[in-house]
Each structure stands twice: as structure tokens, then as C-alpha cells.
Chains A and B, each alone.
Chain A
């Protein structure tokens, strides 16, 4: 049952993103905000921000979600993943005062009507990765958490083996191939 609920919840976030993108729907934004803003705030506090800065940056991240909703592609990222990338970039600006060059954008945006089956599969696999994370040995999980909360330098982030990333990688690879094909 738990997985059904989780899936329903994830579908919901994708639908909220579409409502924001297509209809500037503030109720959909409020639902996303209620779930994700506290998570972004916790992520920033775990990364060393005090509560006031974390609150400020979390609001900024959620405002960015509104402004960039048209760039969200549910066949390539879950809503949580997409918000993580925005929060990470803001954290680097605000806490490290450093620059993180981004890869070249793909020469196309997301498809106007993303394939729902593909989007659902991606959201489900992202959720599955979250559950797999909880089953990792403590030592490995703590290491990953420290890496993502900025507590490890790059040289301390050793070769990571055994992470269950193969399935999600293949799924994203498929989405990239499909987009590239559609653009030809």
C-alpha cells in the first residue's frame, strides 16, 4: 500500500507543475510549497545555513520553481530531483559564494505534452531509489548524506560503488535518446 500512496503523491506533484506552467495556478503552488519548502529549508540547515538564511533561500527556491516551471521535464526528473538541483545551486551561491558552471543546455526544452507513461515510470523509479536509500548499510548512507549536505570535500567523496543508480540512469538515458530522436 505504501508504494501506491507514494506514487499517487508523486503524480500529484507533476500535475501541480503542469497547472503552474499552464494556468499560473496558485492553489497548486501552495500544495507544492507546503510539501517542499520545509524540505528545502531542512536541506539548507543541514548544509550549515542558520534558520533565517534557510527560510530566505527556501522562499527564493520556491519562487524560482514558479518562474521556471516551463523548464521542468517529468520524463527526466522527479519534482523532488528538480527542486534539489535548484536548492543546491542556491546553496552554493549563498553559503559557499562559489560558482558551479552548468552543462550546456540540450538544444530543446521539454516536450509540450510529455509522454505520461514515461513520466510516471521516471517518477516511480525515483521513488524506488528513495526507498533503496533507506535500506543501504548505515555507513554508506551516512557517507552519502554527508556528501550531499556539503560535509565532505571532493577528495573525501571516495569511489561510490554499489549505489542502486543503474535503473534510473537507464531511464534518463532513454528519455534523452527519445528527445534527441523527436528533434530530428
Chain B
């Protein structure tokens, strides 16, 4: 994944801290990890939060069992020769590595399901405490207006969308909560592909999407 230079919308400090602390639901971790893969600024911010974790680690000690060093050395020897693995260079695709792992490949491997009005989605296999989905919004099309019962993270992978607050392009992440009601519209220039993660059902303003919600897990 090449670095994008124009990312304007980043995860909040609270989200990065929760990701560093390891307390995010899997679907949110996936979204943050994907953003960090695209954004050196947030890779550095995350490094700062990890440093905070390291500082906390230094503060307290609990005595280890008497034979623990010997047991660990034995464990290391039983593991055999060290293998010096290096990260493999990746082919430049649309989806960063963490997403490819969930999709089972790049964009062409996504198993889209139509959800009406030209929109498509693919729900990714995460723990059920939050849901992650890829969304395909045709150029110029709108996602039905909705509010939020919890937190929704929307990360743009390709194209762009606009809502009343701003324009979101590749790498940008929009963090919405109970205070936000919006109608995202894909930029007219290209189809928009996003990763969206929610920890509670959305609050649609019209009847038809509401009826379909249980089936779409949206």
C-alpha cells in the first residue's frame, strides 16, 4: 500500500488509545489497523500510545516462579532454530493487508451482496460485538439517511463520499456517534468503496431500510 499524502480525517486519540490498549471490538480494530496501514501520521501517533503502554509496563513487577528462566530457555530450545522472517513486499492493490486477510484477497475477491438502490455490501467475519462491512456506493448514489445508536467508523478505500460535515477521500475515516445524523453521498467522479464498522444498529429515518435492517445486519 503506498502512502497517501492527502489524508485529512484521522481516528480520535480515544480510538487510537483503545486500539493500543487492546480493548476495541475486532471490527473496530480492523478499521483502525487498515487506516494506520494507509497513514504514517497515525502509525506514529499509535507508536506514541504504545510508548505509553511501555511506560505503564515498567511500573510494577510480580515475582516469577523460581525455575521460570530455565523453563523459558527450554521453551526457546524446543522451538528449534530461529527463523528470520521479514515482511513480504506486497503487490500494490486497493485493500491494505489487514483487510486482505479478512476478504481472502484484494478487491476482486470480495463477495458483494446487493442491498438495494445499487448499493452492495460484504459483511466481514469478525466477532459479533461489532460488525464490519465493505460498502460499495455507486458514483453519485446515497446511503439512506441515518443516525447512530453507538459508534460508526467509516474508512474510505476508493473514491470519496460527502456528507453535511465534509468530503472523505481515500484513507479518510469518519467517526460518527449518537450526535450525528447523516446521508453520505458518493462523489460523482467514481464508485466509492468503504469499510464501515458499527457497534450498534443504525437508526434509519425512513421505513423501507428499517424493515430490511435485520436481514442486512446494518
Contacts and interface: CB of A to CB of B under 8 A. Distances in A.
A84 B53 contact: yes
Interface stretch (B85-93, B114-122, B136-144, B159-167): B85-93
Interface stretch (B68-76, B105-113, B181-189, B210-218): B68-76
A84 B50 contact: yes
A92 B52 contact: no
B145 interface: no
Contacts of B61: 38-39, 41-42
B58 interface: yes
Nearest to A109: B86
A15 interface: no
Interface string B92-135: 00001110011000000000000000000000001100000000
A144 to B, nearest CB: 7
Interface residues of A, number: 85
A4 interface: no
B75 A59 contact: yes
Interface in A24-56: 24, 26, 29-30, 33-34, 36-43, 45-46, 51, 54-55
Contacts of A169: 44-45, 47-48
B21 interface: yes
A83 B54 contact: yes
B48 A66 contact: no
A134 to B, nearest CB: 9
A42 B60 contact: yes
A153 B23 contact: yes
B192 interface: no
A100 B29 contact: yes
B207 interface: no
Contact of B23 (A69, A78, A150, A177): A150
Given A77-B54, A154-B28, 15 more contacts: A37-B68, A42-B60, A59-B72, A76-B47, A77-B47, A91-B22, A98-B127, A100-B29, A101-B26, A101-B101, A144-B52, A148-B21, A155-B151, A168-B48, A176-B40
6 contacts: A59-B72, A67-B83, A99-B26, A100-B33, A133-B52, A133-B56
Interface of A: 24, 26, 29-30, 33-34, 36-43, 45-46, 51, 54-55, 58-60, 62-63, 66-67, 69-70, 76-78, 80-85, 87-89, 91-92, 96, 98-109, 126, 129-130, 133, 144-145, 147-150, 152-155, 157-161, 163, 165-166, 168-170, 172-173, 176-177, 180
